[in-house]
Chains A and B, each alone.
Chain A
Amino acid sequence: MAQSDSVMVGMSPSAKERPGQKRGFFNSSNPWLWLSPALIFLLLYSLGPLILNLVMSFTEFKARQKTFEFIGLENWSNLFQDSRFQNAVSITLQYVVIALIIQVFLGILIAILLDARPFGVGLMQTLIILPMVTAPVVSGMLFRLLTHSEFGYIDFIFQNLGIVTKDEPLIGGKGVYALMGVLLVEIWQWTPFIVLIVLAGLKSIPTEVLEAAEVDGANGWQRFWWVKLPLLRTVLSIAILFRLVDLFRVFDYVAVLTAGGPALHTETLSYYGYVNTFQQVKFGYGATIGVFVMIVVWIVAFSYIRIFRMKW
């Protein structure tokens, strides 16, 4: 049966060049006809704001006259001399690097533990997904209570462990540990993402490969380091790409948990841009920061995809 089927398909004229079909754009074998609704929508909704932001980044909003005034590259040159912007860049980089490293390591660890099939693995998997699908606003609020300097349980534990003090709680005080507080939510909410992806990767490793390694005398650690980890490279690279794109734009947690404070210790680029646009009505400068973040993410993602030769 299968053979005769394939013969028939082989003899039939190829789907793409069947005679007697209408040609032109409105032809159901024209890929662009299929793609155009989504592409037109995305072009309007993403290039529209991008172009407006670019234009705005060369202007200054005059709140009194309610007009935009063209000021050339002033916003851009100000940007690189602005110490608050530099602070935001440094906070964002710290945030991205620390969060990424902890999420990846912790994620791999938990995934390996779950992959070793403890009792109740199904329930555990369900429970570990839950943080990820909680609304960032809700999780920010939840951690605001948990990290409260007087009656927050996490702050209480950290005080007892001697990590933070009464005068310098997680959130509050001079803000020495505030970034750690925000990172806690980030790590809590998105480590499960790495867990799930690595778990999917581990499950897709053929058992023959692992058996072969075992026959060759590799112990558990060697099997992980020399067999599993290299095979996980692809899935990990995807997970890291998606975390990178989101981490660079972190906003919700900062907004709900600390509002950038205390003393700018948690002010990320997205939040600084938000402050400019929505609190100080500096639309031009806010747009400049927005475009800057977008360019950074674009470059990071683009080179990342090139380096890891990712294809869809």
Chain B
Amino acid sequence: MATANSTKPQIGIGHRTEAEWRSVQRQQHRQKLINRILLTIVTGVIVLIFFFPIWFWVTASFKTFTGIFQMPPQLIGFDAIGSWWSTVIGGRPYLEVVQETVGANAGTGGGGTVGYYVVPFLVNSAITGFLSTLVVIAVATPTAYALSRFNPRGKQNIVFFILSTRFMPAFAAVLPITQIYRFIGWDDTRFGLVLAHVLVNLPLAILLLKSFFDDVPTDLDDAAMVDGCNRWGAFWRIIIRYVLPGMGAAAVLCLIFSWNEFLFALYLVRIPDLSTLPVFLAGFDTASGGTEWGFLAAAGTAAMVPVFIFILFVQRSLIRGLTLGAVRG
């Protein structure tokens, strides 16, 4: 320490003893710490502002009827009740819960006829998401490999075409697809919706996976082919193992986007037995006296939680996925 310090006092500051230097250092250290604490406070406040709506929504699902509308909202330490959840997850009759939480004379909204039992819709969303993800990964992986390894004529145009399938506004794509589906008898089938979700997710998965393939050295392909594999063998036996994490990330993202997708799910499957969660959630009328909000908060939270859990696994690959592989996270 002493030797390091002794080189410093020369430049125009005058003479200082070692003890004085230590205190200067300590001061600088303290200043750095203070800066970092200030930084933490500023950043923390901004992050909390972004987190506030989610926290508000999650807590609302446990609040009493009056608690939800309290101003300003109580974000911690409120009286927690499980009534809303008992309907949403447990399937308790809607009216029973409304009478318990709101009172006997409460006006009832859309829930009176449909109910707020989300479990079947969670299951529908999960099945649709799972199947479409399966198809997406199966189709996207070889395509991504080819885009990474081969250089066919007009490759950039192919990529732009893949990208451009996202350009059509969903409302405009929905009607033609419903018409085609009706023509070939796929309307109101889960299969039809699954394929539509494949359309939504395929570009993302292809370009994301391509960026993962790009990271695997081509020497590995060459080595495999020297050892007697053909292209397919090199891909299937060797290279695919190196992109398994990428496939996982792509799968989770596809699952999330299928889970969140709204318009296709709304119009391609019009029977409640097959409806996904967003369609179910969007179907409620919140205008009638606010009786619905507790249920909605619980149902919305039920829709969020699985996604949040998935996200924890793929946080790092998330950026790559959302930018279709163009930015390495």
* Chain A residues in the interface with B (C-beta under 8 A): 5-6, 8-9, 12, 15, 18, 21, 28-29, 31-32, 34-35, 37-39, 41-42, 45-46, 48-50, 52-53, 56, 110, 113-114, 116-120, 124-139, 141-146, 150-151, 153, 156, 188, 191-193, 196-197, 199-201, 204, 235, 238-239, 242, 245, 249, 251-252, 255-256, 269-270, 273-274, 277-278, 283, 286-287, 289-291, 293-294, 297-298, 301-302, 305, 310-312
What's the least CB distance linking B307 to chain A, in Å?
Answer: 5
Chain B residue contacts of A113, Cβ below 8 A: 39, 42-43, 46
Q: Are B143 and A38 in contact (CB under 8 A)?
A: yes
Contact at B163–A301, with CB atoms within 8 Å?
yes
B53 & A53 in contact (Cβ 8 Å cutoff): no
| Pairwise interchain contact A297-B167, C-beta atoms closer than 8 A | yes
Q: How far is the CB of A232 from chain B (nearest CB, A)?
A: 11
Q: For the complex, give the distance between the alpha carbons of A127 and B308 in Å.
A: 10
Inter-subunit contact A151/B300 (CB<8 Å): no
Residues in chain A near residue B46, CB distance under 8 A? 110, 113
- Knowing A142-B57, A286-B171, the reply to whether A127 touches B318 (Cβ < 8 A) is no
Q: Are A135 and B262 in contact, CB atoms less than 8 angstroms apart?
A: yes
Contacts known (A37-B143, A46-B199); A302 close to B152, Cβ less than 8 A: no
A-B contact pairs, 28 of them (CB 8 A): A39-B161, A42-B162, A42-B203, A45-B165, A45-B196, A45-B198, A48-B180, A50-B168, A128-B51, A130-B311, A133-B260, A135-B259, A135-B260, A137-B281, A139-B53, A141-B281, A142-B53, A153-B72, A196-B329, A200-B327, A274-B171, A277-B175, A286-B171, A286-B175, A290-B172, A294-B172, A311-B156, A312-B159
CB closest residue in chain B, given A126: B315
CB of B244 within 8 A of chain A? no
Chain A residues whose CB sits within 8 angstroms of the CB of B115 once the complex forms: none
User: Does B221 contact A312, Cβ atoms closer than 8 Å?
Assistant: no
With A32-B152, A37-B142 as given contacts, are A118 and B165 in contact (CB-CB < 8 Å)?
Answer: no
Tally of contact residues, B, Cβ under 8 A: 106
Chain B residues near A251 (CB-CB < 8 A): 169-171, 263
**Which of A6, A8, A143, A278 contacts B53, CB < 8 Å?**
A143
Say yes or no: A197-B169 contact (C-beta < 8 A), given A118-B43, A145-B293. Answer: no
Nearest Cβ distance between residue A111 and chain B, in whole angstroms? 10
Q: Given the interface contacts A135-B259, A144-B286, A238-B326, does A38 sit within 8 Å of B202 by beta carbon?
A: yes
Contact across chains for B50 and A131 when beta carbons are under 8 A apart: yes
- Measured between alpha carbons, how far is A126 from B309 in the docked complex, in Å? 11
Given A119-B36, A138-B300, A312-B210, answer yes or no on A49-B172 (Cβ-Cβ < 8 Å).
yes
Q: How far is the CA of A72 from the CA of B224 in the complex (A)?
A: 58
**Contact partner of A42 among B72, B161, B210, CB < 8 A?**
B161
Chain A CB within 8 A of B24 CB? no
Which 6 pairs from chain A and chain B are nearest by CB?
A: A290-B172, A34-B146, A31-B150, A135-B260, A118-B40, A52-B176
**Cβ-defined contact, A41 with B198, below 8 A:** yes
Shortest A7–chain B CB gap in Å is 12
Contacts of B164 in A (CB 8 A): 46, 298, 301
Q: How far is the CA of A37 from the CA of B255 in the complex (A)?
A: 21
In angstroms, Cα B324 to Cα A242, docked, is: 9
Contact A193 B171 (CB under 8 A): no
Chain B positions 112-130 with a Cβ under 8 Å from a chain A Cβ: none
Complex Cα distance, B196 from A28, in Å, reads 29
Q: Contacts of B233 on A, CB cut-off 8 Å?
A: 28
Known: A34-B146, A38-B202. A21 touches B230 (CB 8 A): yes
The reply to whether A5 and B223 form a contact with Cβ atoms under 8 Å apart is yes
Q: B171's contact among A120, A132, A200, A273, by CB below 8 Å, is which? A: A273
Q: Are A270 and B179 in contact (CB under 8 A)?
A: no
Q: Which residues of B sit under 8 angstroms from A151, Cβ to Cβ? A: 68-69, 71, 290
CB-based nearest B residue for A55: B176
Determine if B54 and A312 form an interchain contact, defined as CB atoms under 8 angstroms apart: no
Q: Please give, as numbers and ranges, the residues of chain A lying within 8 Å of B243 by CB-CB distance.
A: none
Q: How far is the CA of A296 from the CA of B201 in the complex (A)?
A: 22
Give A308 to B131 CA distance when docked, in angstroms.
37
- B147 contacts A35, CB within 8 Å? yes
One of A35, A46, A290, A302 near B169 (C-beta < 8 A):
A290
When A129-B318, A200-B328 are in contact, do A35 and B54 touch as well, CB less than 8 Å? no
Q: Are A125 and B303 in contact (CB under 8 A)?
A: no
With beta carbons under 8 angstroms apart, the residue of A42, A127, A156, A245 that contacts B50 is A127
Inter-chain contacts of A270 with B (CB < 8 A): 169-171
Contacts of B277 in A (CB 8 A): 135
Residue of B nearest to A110 (CB): B46
Shortest C-beta distance, A18 to chain B (Å), equals 7
Q: Which residues of A contact B223 (CB under 8 A)?
A: 5, 9
Identity of the chain B residue whose Cβ is nearest the Cβ of A291 in the assembled complex:
B172
What is the distance, in angstroms, from A290's C-beta to the closest C-beta of chain B?
A: 2
Nearest CB of B to A176, in Å: 21
Is B195 a contact partner of A45 (Cβ separation < 8 A)? yes
| Residue of B50, B142, B277 with most partner-chain A CB within 10 A | B50
Q: Contact at B231–A28, with CB atoms within 8 Å?
A: yes
Cβ contacts under 8 Å, A130 to chain B: 50-51, 54, 304, 308, 311
In the assembled complex, which residues on chain A have CB atoms less than 8 Å from the CB atom of B146? 31, 34-35
Q: Contact check, A286 vs B50: say whether CB atoms are below 8 A apart.
A: no
Whole-angstrom distance between the Cβ of A54 and the nearest chain B Cβ = 10
Q: Given A274-B171, A286-B172, are A34 and B40 neighbors across the interface (CB < 8 Å)?
A: no
